[in-house]
Amino acid sequence: MRKKRCVIQVTACILACLLFCLLCSCKKPDVVRVGFSASLTGFNSELGVSGLYGAQVAVDEINSNGGILEKQIELIVLDDKSSPEQALKNDLILVDAGCDFVVGHMTSDMAETVIPFFSEQKKLLISPTMALASLEGIDDFLIRLIPSTDAQASMIAQGVEEIGAHNLLIVSSSYNKVFAESLSKRLTAELGNTKTSVQIFPSFDFRSSAQAEQAIEYIGSSKPDCIVLICAADDAARFAQMMRINDVKAVVFLPAWAMTTDLLQHGGEAVEGFYGVNYIDYSSSAPQYLEFRDTFLGKFGSEPNFASILTYESIMLLAQAIEQAQSTDAVIIKNQIITSRSFRGLQSELIINQFGDITRPTYLYQILGGSYVKLEEGQ
Amino acid sequence: MLNSKKGNNRVRSLFYTLINTNVVIIALIIGAIAIIAIGGFRYYLIQNITAKDLLLHRNIKEDIEEMASAATDILKYVDRATKDAAQENVNEIIKSINQVNPSFKNIEILDHNGDVIATLPEYSTDLGFSRSGEEFFKAIDNGKKTYWGIPIVSSTTGDTTVTISIKASEHIIVGYLDLRAIQQVIQKSNAVGDVYLSVVLLDQFGRYISGPDMSLAEQRRVSKDFPIIRDQAGDLSTKSYSTTDQMQFLYTGRVEGPDWYIALYDDYGETLNVYRPVYYLIGVALFVVAVFAFLGSYSTSKKVENEIQQFIKYTASLSSGQYDSPIPNNRFREFNYLASNMNQMAQSILERDRSLHTLAYYDSLTGLYSRTALNQDFLLFLKEGNEAVSLVYIDLDDFKSINDSYGHSFGDKVLSSIAERILSLCNNESTAFRFGGDEFVILVNDSIDGKRALDFAKSAIDSTRTNISVQNREVYISLSAGICTLARGAIIDFEQMLQFADIALYSAKRSGKGVFTFYEPTMDIQQRRATDIKQSIRSAIVKGELYLCYQPQLHVHTSTDYRLRGFEALLRWNSSEFGLIPPAEFIPLAEETGVIFQIGLWVFQEACSFILELNRNFKSNYVMSINISPKQLVRADFVENVKRIVRETEVQCNWLELEITEGVLLENVEVAINHLSELRSIGISISMDDFGTGFSSLSYIHQLPINTLKIDRSFISKLESNTVSEKMVESISLLANNLGLTLIAEGIETSNQANKLLDLGCYVMQGFYFSKPIEGKEQVYQYIESQAHSI
């Protein structure tokens, strides 16, 4: 009798332990995994790195407030090294790691490769800065926090007209070529009915000094009224330096792509007076924006640029949609974002259409005294 | 049985209690040892790790600071080296310096506007570039002598770098540090190559400058531990911080100069895991110890239980009466003590049992088998090979008087002597038992005619015909025997045989004692009658069944001339159940039951009342002779009762004559003498009845205060034909005459007997010749009147 009781007790203990282990193993994860993929190293990594910083601020802010759906956000970061192939690999990795949402892919040259993947996987891509016009009006699994190149083209065209330029030379980087082509095309269209003639210099590798010198030489010889440099900030700064050295002067317009702190730092005197388009009002006094700016400055020791802000807004938009939908299903969230139609950004209300395309203010800046000075606001 | 409840306390199994207790103790001890051993080992291991880590951390920090200082020195050296150099040579000078100290990816010399005026030759395309937008230029331009920048991507090389810029004599010199070079410094410091150690270098905002994963530095990522590292670093102090995330120790500090944060991670969990085999070894060793301890405990508990089971069996056998199997010694001293004590106890019990058995089985006085032996093992004493068994039941005659006369100690010696004689008569076919008191039983393997029992009884009776000498005193004692012989197959049990032998003994006693009698079935009837009479006699007085007859005693001159002396009161019992019962039958029975005392007093009362009535009526002095039994005489209250009755009846004592027999001498002689003397003193006469038939000695007769001798009828009946009887009567007459005693003869049936007696000098007679006992008072009155007329 006593032996039997001992056996029962021991068996009960073992079963209890097994059950406990089973329950532990079945414990649901208490995180929402969000992927971040961008170029984080080398030239032209400014967008990616500053975007990552913006995402980090957003994630820290959400998690410190209890997370979403009582879960913490886990940001999984991968470097695509400015390679579309690597970007796709990263997306595969992120999806396998449990990410239903990916924020990133800061440049348009990634679009052709990655967007079909997200549509196929029914995972949601939120790109802060992928501005390619051809992505507009498509029902896909892409939400963009940046208007298309058309908006930039319009702003640049407006600026070109205002200075009364008669001939415009578009100089673009072979890196992110689709963006350059898109912008060039739109710009040409915008200026098509104006007195300004548009000339497009063949895209080249701005890192190649020889090719850059050729371009400069051409500029020097053709003497356009203004130049539109479609390239990243580093490339723009370097090109400007070379122009300065070669004493080639021109009015330069830059897309938002180049409008980062790197341009100012690396451009120095060479970029003084350049014009550029941006989607952020650096002089905004919106409390949320100021708070974000102070946090960013304190955290990273540098001013946030548009990539930081748009990436921050991307994360916040995602978090808001999850809270509203009470779901982490990508399809549901996409619909939630689209049906919500509007989102309160750091500086203004942002309108998102049924295709996930956004409308937000556009600003024209000029670099004066080593800083960005807002000139005009467009829509 | 094992786990029953008894009252309020739960009864447990000793074995399982020992096991459970030992298991718990072993588990606690093993657990404590495990905790102490493993915990202690782990503690010292961690202490060792901590000390090593702190030392390493300090060394690395110093190396970084040294590197930073060296980097600054290089830039200063560049300044000195290029100060007076020709412009075309500056780039080469920078290159040569950098080759010797390859910490920098690039070194630039800027003019006061921030334009690059010198650089490494491979980056000469940057000559003239404006660095006025760079933070390092702004910082130096604003007055800093040395500025350490945050990680940036070099616009020249595309690499992530950290700039260090100094205010040179006339220029600004900026170096773009190779982060790999910093990593190498760290790796060199950690030359031991502990794979569980990792060192990270962070800028003042937590961005990686160096670490095991340089991609983090290249991506300018911020360490998630930066808040902890920053908070714990303090003012250039080194503190340890233990995280529970990955069992890591985190040692942080600030690097002077660049104002960086250095953090050393020691994944001591992995380090401890290296020693996991030691834990396993300890665990296995303790487990083995526990198993052996458990087995040992089990074995010991089992041994203890086995020993206790042995004791249980042993005590069970003891309780069932088996004392002859001692517990053997076992391995436990305490149990040996217990076993020894129990064995001694069993031995004591056994010996006591044997003693008790001996005491019960043997009579301590005589050494013969006891009544208990006979009751228990009757059949065992019967030997095979004989067709019948006889039981000889021997009883000493009048043994009580010996005890009363000489004391029980004397009586015991007499019994011992008798027993010796009886035992001497026993052989292989006979076994003697002391049955109790003065009774003996002898079992005899016999023939169906009881020949051996007869011979035995005869021998036994004959053996006592000689006096027994005890303590220089001669005692004469006889024994009576009753014999029962049954065929073996007819024996039911001992009680049956004894009952038959007892009946035969009773018959022998009644036959006169000193004889033996074989049981006959008719004796049953006699015995039963005697029992019934004993029962009825108690109520005979109440029922008025007793009455007195009076036989005249006469002074005889001649056989035809005689005068009434008085009467002898003779008791008669006309039982409503049995009819007339002879006194010779019921008197002994009355004596056996003790009723004789009541009857005796009633007889005395009646006789006194009647003699008083007669003498008053006839104005005579007739004498009433009243028989007194010896037992009655020696009663303590006898004299008092006689005096009371005399007083109550107002009878004159000289009218009374008490007749006693020689049997009184078998009772307490001294008491008898005293009582008789006292009665004589008040005038009552004492007559010795049946003189000559008892076994009294003359010395006792001399002591007794008697007045009269009565010659027994057995002498008278043979007087005419037996010369011996005549001589006896003559002798008795002479004795009486010489002693001045009155002589009375009883049982005269013929005139010749009367005449003879007259010739022999006996002048008082009673008997049928003169008158048979007269029943009824009226008849006595008539007799007296008839006598008066005849005179």
pLDDT at A10: 67
- Does residue B231 sit in helix, strand or coil? helix
- Partner-chain residue, chosen from A1, A41, A302, that has the shortest CB–CB distance to B219: A41
Handedness of CA A295, A299, A305, A308 (dihedral sign): negative
According to DSSP H, which parts of B234-275 are helical? 268-274
Place B474 in a pLDDT band, splitting at 50, 70 and 90: confident
| pLDDT the model gives residue B238 | 46
Q: Does A2 touch chain B (CB under 8 A)?
A: yes
Residue B330, pLDDT score: 67
Neighboring chain B residues of A42 at a CB cutoff of 8 Å: 153, 158-159, 218
pLDDT, tens digit, 9 for 90 and up, residues B484-501:
998 888 877 778 888 889
Choose among B131, B160, B204: nearest Cβ to A41. Answer: B160
Please report residues of B whose CB lies closer than 8 A to that of A370.
132-133
Residues of A in contact with B114 (CB under 8 A): 268-269
Nearest to B133 among A209, A244, A266 (CB): A266
Neighbours of B323 (CB within 10 A): 19
- Interface with chain B: mutation pick from A2, A78, A213, A263, highest number of B CBs within 10 Å: A2
**C-beta of residue A213 within 8 angstroms of C-beta of residue A242:** yes
Going by the DSSP 8-state scheme, the letter that residue A366 receives in this structure is E
Cβ–Cβ below 8 Å for A237 and B155: yes
pLDDT digits (tens, 9 = 90+) for B150-201: 999 888 888 899 999 999 888 899 999 989 988 888 888 765 566 778 889 9
Q: What is the crossing angle of helices B408-425 and B399-406, to 10°?
A: 140
**B776 secondary structure, DSSP code:** S
- B-chain CB neighbours of A301 within 8 Å are 150, 204-205
Q: Do B535-777 and B371-519 have the same topology in CATH? A: no
Average pLDDT of every residue of chain B: 85
Q: d(Cα A81, Cα B98) in Å, to the nearest integer?
A: 29
* The pLDDT of residue B712 is above 70: yes
Which residues are paired to A104 by β-bridges? A37
If contacts are CB pairs under 8 Å, which of residues 163-182 in chain A contact chain B? none
B245 catalytic residue (yes or no): no
Interchain CB distance below 8 Å, A301 and B204:
yes
Q: pLDDT tens digit string along A161-199? A: 989 888 899 999 998 888 999 999 999 998 988 888 999
Choose the closest CB to B155 out of A53, A79, A266: A266
Q: Is the distance from CB of A100 to CB of A328 less than 8 angstroms? A: yes
Nearest-Cα residue of chain B relative to residue A265: B133
Contacts of B113 in chain A (CB under 8 A): 269
Q: Nearest Cα to B136, choosing from B102, B161, B170, B119?
A: B161
Question: Could you tell me which chain B residue has the CA closest to the CA of A232?
Answer: B155
- Residue A83 to residue A110: CA distance in whole angstroms: 8
Mean pLDDT of B321-327: 75
The verdict on a CB contact (< 8 Å) between B155 and A262 is yes
Q: Do B205 and A299 touch (CB under 8 A)?
A: yes
Smallest Cα distance from B245 to chain A, Å: 16
Count interface pairs A-B at CB distance under 8 A: 92
CA angle centred on B383, ends B378 and B386, rounded to 5°: 120
Interface residue ranges in chain B relative to chain A, Cβ cutoff 8 Å: 2-3, 13, 16, 113-115, 125-135, 137, 150, 152-153, 155, 158-160, 204-205, 207, 215, 218-222
Chain A interface mutation, best of B2, B21, B129, highest count of A Cβ atoms under 10 Å: B129
* Angstroms from B152 CA to nearest CA on chain A: 9
Handedness of CA A317, A321, A322, A324 (dihedral sign): positive
Residues of A in contact with B158 (CB under 8 A): 42-43, 207
- Ordered by start, the domain boundaries in chain B are 14-274, 276-320+322-357, 371-519, 535-777
- A241·B128 Cβ contact <8 A: yes
d(CA B320, CA B118) in angstroms, rounded, equals: 121
Does pTM surpass 0.80?
Answer: no
CA A93 from chain centre, in angstroms, equals 20
Cβ separation B219–A45 shorter than 8 A: yes
The mean-pLDDT minimum among A184-198, B94-108, B594-608, B643-657 falls in B94-108
Interface of A with B in 23-62 (CB under 8 A): 40-43, 45-46, 49, 52-53, 56
The single residue of B79, B438, B502, B689 carrying the catalytic annotation is B438
A6 pLDDT band, cuts 50/70/90, is low
Q: Within the 262-281 window of chain A, which residues sit less than 8 Å (CB to CB) from chain B?
A: 262, 264-271
Segment B394-409, tens digit of pLDDT: 999 888 878 887 888 9
Q: Of A323-337, B49-63, B97-111, where does the model show the most confidence?
A: A323-337
Rounded Cα–Cα distance for residues B612 and B7 (Å): 83
Burial bucket for residue B684 (CB in 10 Å: 0-12, 13-18, 19+): buried
B219 CB neighbours in chain A (<8 A) are 40-41, 45, 49, 52, 77, 79
Contacts of B437 (CB under 8 A, 6+ apart): B399
Residue A135 identity: L
Given pLDDT bands bounded at 50, 70 and 90, which one contains residue B790?
Answer: low
DSSP code, position A71: B
**Looking at residue B694, what is its pLDDT?**
66
Q: Which of B113, B218, B222 sits opposite A56 (nearest CB)?
A: B222
Question: What's the DSSP call for residue B619?
Answer: T
The whole-angstrom separation of Cα B369 and Cα B678 is: 47
Tell me the domains of chain A and their CATH numbers: 31-147+284-360 (3.40.50.2300), 150-278 (3.40.50.2300)
pLDDT surpasses 60 at B764 = yes
Q: Between A11 and A41, where is the model more confident?
A: A41
Total residue count of chain B as it appears in this document: 791
pLDDT mean over B69-83? 89
Of B16, B131, B204, the CB nearest to A2: B16
A246: chain B residues, CB-CB within 8 Å: none
B135 contact residues in A (CB cutoff 8 A): 265
Name the most confidently modeled range: B11-25, B88-102, B263-277, B749-763.
B749-763
Structure tokens at A51: 């975007």
pLDDT at B1: 42
Task: Using CB atoms within 10 Å of the CB of residue B259, give its burial: 0 to 12 exposed, 13 to 18 middle, 19+ buried.
Answer: exposed
Indicate the fold that domain B535-777 takes in CATH.
TIM Barrel (3.20.20)
Nearest residue to A166 (alpha-carbon basis) of A197, A127, A191: A197
Q: For residues B734 and B725, give the distance between their C-alpha atoms in angstroms, rounded to a whole number.
A: 14
* Per-residue pLDDT reduced to its tens digit, A133-164: 888 899 999 999 999 888 899 999 999 998 98
Q: Tokens 């007296």 — which residue?
A: B784
Topology classification of domain B371-519: Alpha-Beta Plaits (3.30.70)
CB B117, CB B127: distance < 8 Å: yes
3-state secondary structure of A97: coil
Distance CA B429, CA B303 (A): 56
CATH label, B14-274, candidates 3.60.21.10, 3.40.50.360, 3.30.450.20, 1.20.58.220: 3.30.450.20
What residue of A is the nearest CA neighbor of B125? A209
Residue of A45, A78, A261, A274 to mutate, testing the B interface (most B Cβ within 10 Å of its Cβ): A45
Out of B133, B150, B153, closest to residue A370 by CB: B133
Is A231 within 8 Å of chain B by CB? no
Q: How far apart are CA B500 and CA B34, in angstroms?
A: 90
Q: Which of A86, A32, A81, A40 is nearest to A58 (CA)?
A: A32
Compute the residue count for chain A: 379
Nearest chain B CA: its distance from A338 CA (Å): 32
Residue entry with tokens 């210099």: A201
| Measured CA distances, B119 to B97, B102, B355, B392, B396 (Å) | 12, 14, 130, 155, 158
Provide the Cα torsion B541, B545, B548, B551; round to 10°.
Answer: -150
pLDDT in tens, B510-522: 777 788 999 988 7
Note the pLDDT of residue A157. 92
Partner-chain residue, chosen from B126, B132, B222, that has the shortest CB–CB distance to A269: B132
Element (H, E) at B164: strand B160-167
CA–CA dist B150, A49 (Å, integer): 14
**What's the pLDDT score for residue B666?**
67
